[in-house]
């Protein structure tokens, strides 16, 4: 069975890619953001995952508004990044884990999630930048990845409850895998931000901090919100919180907070980082 080590949730603002390329980690604007990451890297060095399941949203690189699946699971042997036009250098390709991807896909469909299966898939900044923050250097990457893209872009969005349940179903799939794997689950995006429209620049610190608190022990509290509630409370792109909920849902055991950082703003976005450790529940395992 796969061991679910924990989850890391992180912002994925495109400007981070440019800041990495220009070595701006110590720049006063960037320092409070980048300073959040060494403790996450230290936790990874101890946890030693070999697979990262990444809940994220594609921003038009692989899917566009004409064809936008609600949930899409990668089943490729390799995932490439491509130029998105933000001035972010592309990163080295990621190795996939087709066998585990197909197991997750079969398990999700059996669990009544009618997902899209992607045997080819480009991954955008929402997958690459958290990877680059957690494993600096731009590749080669020490983990294989399984990208799970969620629609946080175009109405109608899945509900926060559905996002959480997707994560729970992925957690069940990982636990029913009959080979060994050490898995870290990533949830990328958020926290509050709105990039355009009348409320461009909208940030809700109080709501963000409430979410970062609740997601540790009471994630179901956050599933009481509708996706439109999240738009109201966290801005139109704040709906990326749902990737955090999916990642949290995949933690099947007792969850503890190892590390958190919150910094406002980076590129009109409230950036959050959390490391949540998963302690498998012995009773659930024995059952």
Q: Residue 158 Cβ, how far from ligand DHB at the closest point, in Å? A: 17
Residue 97 catalytic?
no
Which residues does residue 29 pair with via DSSP β-bridges, in sequence order?
none
Tell me whether residue 171 or residue 190 sits nearer to ligand DHB (CB atom): 190
From ligand DHB, Fe ion, none, which one binds at residue 261 (CB under 5 to 8 Å depending on kind)?
none
What are the backbone dihedrals phi and psi of residue 155, each rounded to the nearest 5 degrees, phi first? Answer: -55, 140
Residue 167 to residues 116, 128, 172, 173, 185: CA-CA distances in angstroms? Answer: 16, 20, 9, 10, 9
Contact positions vs Fe ion (CB under 5 A): 189
Residue 263 catalytic?
no
From ligand DHB, Fe ion, none, which one binds at residue 7 (CB under 5 to 8 Å depending on kind)?
none
What are the backbone dihedrals phi and psi of residue 5, each rounded to the nearest 5 degrees, phi first? Answer: -75, -35
What are the backbone dihedrals phi and psi of residue 77, each rounded to the nearest 5 degrees, phi first? Answer: -80, -20
Q: Which of 97, 125, 152, 263 is catalytic?
A: 125
Q: Residue 183 Cβ, how far from ligand DHB at the closest point, in Å? A: 24
Give residue number: closest CB to ligand DHB. 267
Contact positions vs ligand DHB (CB under 6 A): 12-15, 59, 189, 193, 195, 237, 240, 267, 269
From Fe ion, ligand DHB, none, which one binds at residue 165 (CB under 5 to 8 Å depending on kind)?
none
From ligand DHB, Fe ion, none, which one binds at residue 14 (CB under 5 to 8 Å depending on kind)?
ligand DHB
Please give the full DSSP string across 11-55, using - where no structure is assigned: ---THHHHHHHTT-TTSTTTHHHHTTSHHHHHHHHHH--SEEEEE
Q: Which of 12, 59, 103, 193 is catalytic?
A: 193
Closest CA to 261 of 14, 43, 7, 34: 34
Q: Residue 236 Cβ, how far from ligand DHB at the closest point, in Å? A: 11
Tell me whether residue 59 or residue 144 sits nearer to ligand DHB (CB atom): 59
The answer to whether the bond into 167 is cis (omega within 30° of 0) is no
C-alpha–C-alpha distance, residues 3 and 5, integer Å: 6
Q: Residue 65 Cβ, how far from ligand DHB at the closest point, in Å? A: 15
Q: Which residues are catalytic?
A: 125, 193
């Amino acid at each position: 069975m796969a061991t679910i080590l924990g989850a890391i949730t992180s912002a994925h603002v495109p400007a981070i890619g440019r800041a990495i390329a220009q070595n701006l980690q110590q720049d006063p604007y960037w320092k409070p953001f980048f300073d959040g990451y060494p403790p996450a890297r230290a936790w990874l060095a101890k946890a030693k995952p070999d697979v990262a399941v990444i809940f994220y949203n594609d921003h038009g690189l692989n899917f566009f508004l004409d064809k936008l699946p609600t949930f899409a699971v990668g089943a490729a042997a390799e995932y490439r990044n491509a130029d998105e036009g933000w001035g972010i250098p592309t990163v080295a390709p990621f190795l996939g884990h087709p066998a585990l991807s197909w197991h997750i896909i079969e398990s999700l469909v059996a669990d009544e999630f009618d997902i899209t299966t992607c045997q080819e898939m480009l991954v955008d900044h929402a997958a690459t930048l958290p990877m680059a923050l957690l494993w600096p250097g731009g590749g080669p990457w020490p983990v294989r990845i399984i990208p799970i893209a969620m629609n946080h872009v175009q109405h109608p969005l899945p509900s926060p409850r559905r996002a959480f349940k997707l994560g729970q179903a992925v957690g069940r799939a990982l636990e029913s895998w009959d080979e060994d794997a050490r898995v870290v689950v990533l949830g990328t995006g958020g926290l509050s931000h709105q990039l355009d429209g009348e409320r461009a620049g909208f940030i809700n610190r109080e709501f963000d901090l409430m979410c970062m608190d609740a997601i540790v022990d009471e994630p179901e509290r956050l599933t009481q919100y509708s996706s439109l509630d999240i738009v109201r409370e966290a801005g139109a792109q704040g709906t990326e919180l749902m990737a955090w909920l999916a990642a949290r849902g995949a933690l099947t055991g007792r969850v503890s907070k190892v590390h958190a950082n919150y910094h406002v703003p980076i590129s009109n976005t409230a950036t959050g980082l959390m490391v949540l450790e998963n302690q498998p529940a012995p009773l659930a395992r024995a059952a």
